[in-house]
Chain A
Amino acid sequence: MSTAIRNLFPIILLLVVPFVLRAQDLKLPPDIESLSAKAKETVEVNMDGPMLRWASKFLSKEDPEEKEAAKLVENLKAIYVRSYEFADEKAYSAAEVESLRSQFRTPTWSRVVGVRSEHDGENVDVFFRLENEKMAGIVIISAEPRELTFVNIVGPLEIDQLADLGGEFGIPRLKTKPPSSKPLAKADKGDRK
């Protein structure tokens, strides 16, 4: 038995290592690109280290928002964004979103926030990647009835600072509905894998 395991070990290693490495260095899930064909509008941003450095040179030092963005980007290694807006609801299936999420259910990633809203169908998942107990990356998967957004930010960053940017740059902070007696959304937080 032990001889059989010893003989199979290199094969198992060969099969497992690429998956682990893939999950660690995953820039974009390969199947996400297929959704762009169905999308009415597509936003694609691919910025690696040198491109980020170069783009941040053009951020104004006078503009407080751009100054904040420059500070945020300073130590980042890459940013990848795919945002698809669809003409119809159910343009993509729940299975497709689940397939995206499943690629981050690895030991290197921790699902920190998962919001499920049955009322308006807004589902958001936030995964953190930690290295030596420090933030090394974040993935956000937001699935709305007519919109699917995937964000992968590689490198250390301040989450609060990034969240603050959502309410700046001319985009108003998202208004939330007043809390009703029956919660419409389900959320899990700190669901570490």
Chain B
Amino acid sequence: MNPIDQNPNRLENVLKEALRRQDAPENFAADVLARIDQKSTESEPQHSWMSIFSRPALRWAACAAVFICLTLGGIHYRHVQRERAKGEAAKQQLMLALRIAGSKLQLAKERVNDINAARPQSQPESRTPRSRS
């Protein structure tokens, strides 16, 4: 059996002892402030890569690289757009050619059908009308 269970007053005493009000040790505030300072100085090296831009040459090089990238990107985009426009125009031409060819072929087909339909029924089906020319 637990000794605390044997004596309930002992539990109370243990709690009182544990939760007893204690004054902060001397220099507590100073220690806390010192640690905060220490942490802030430790965290500084994390941003150290930004320090490379403090050098003017590198700063200009970075600016030039960004400018070149943007320019090349823009040129490529324009090239793609132009190629797409040319492709669309070619597609339209192709469709137009097919439309014209199809419609003329359709015209010939319809005319032949017309002539076949207009022939008297007495004529044999297999006979094809011949051109007089």
Contact = CB atoms under 8 A, between A and B. Distances in A.
B86 to A, nearest CB: 9
A55 B83 CA distance: 11
Contacts of B103: 166-167, 171, 174
Nearest to B86: A54
A121 to B, nearest CB: 12
Contacts of A186: 115, 129, 131-133
Interface stretch (A8-16, A18-26, A43-51): A43-51
Interface in A123-168: 124, 126, 138, 140, 142, 149, 151, 153, 159, 162-168
Interface residues of A, number: 58
A43 B94 CA distance: 12
Contacts of B129: 183, 186-189
Contacts, number: 157
Given A122-B111, A176-B110, A189-B128, A140 B94 contact: no
A3 B56 CA distance: 94
A4 B115 CA distance: 52
A58 B87 contact: yes
Given A43-B96, A79-B101, 18 more contacts: A45-B96, A47-B90, A47-B93, A59-B91, A79-B94, A79-B98, A124-B111, A138-B101, A140-B105, A142-B107, A151-B100, A165-B98, A165-B101, A166-B101, A174-B106, A183-B129, A186-B131, A189-B128
A55 B104 contact: no
A81 interface: yes
A52 B76 CA distance: 24
A191 interface: yes
Interface in A168-193: 168-169, 171, 173-174, 176-177, 179-183, 185-191
A43 B92 CA distance: 12
Main secondary structure of the interface of A (DSSP, over half): mixed
A58 B88 contact: yes
Contact of A166 (B93, B99, B112): B99
Contacts of A27: none
A162 B110 CA distance: 14
B95 interface: yes
Interface string B114-133: 11011100000000111111
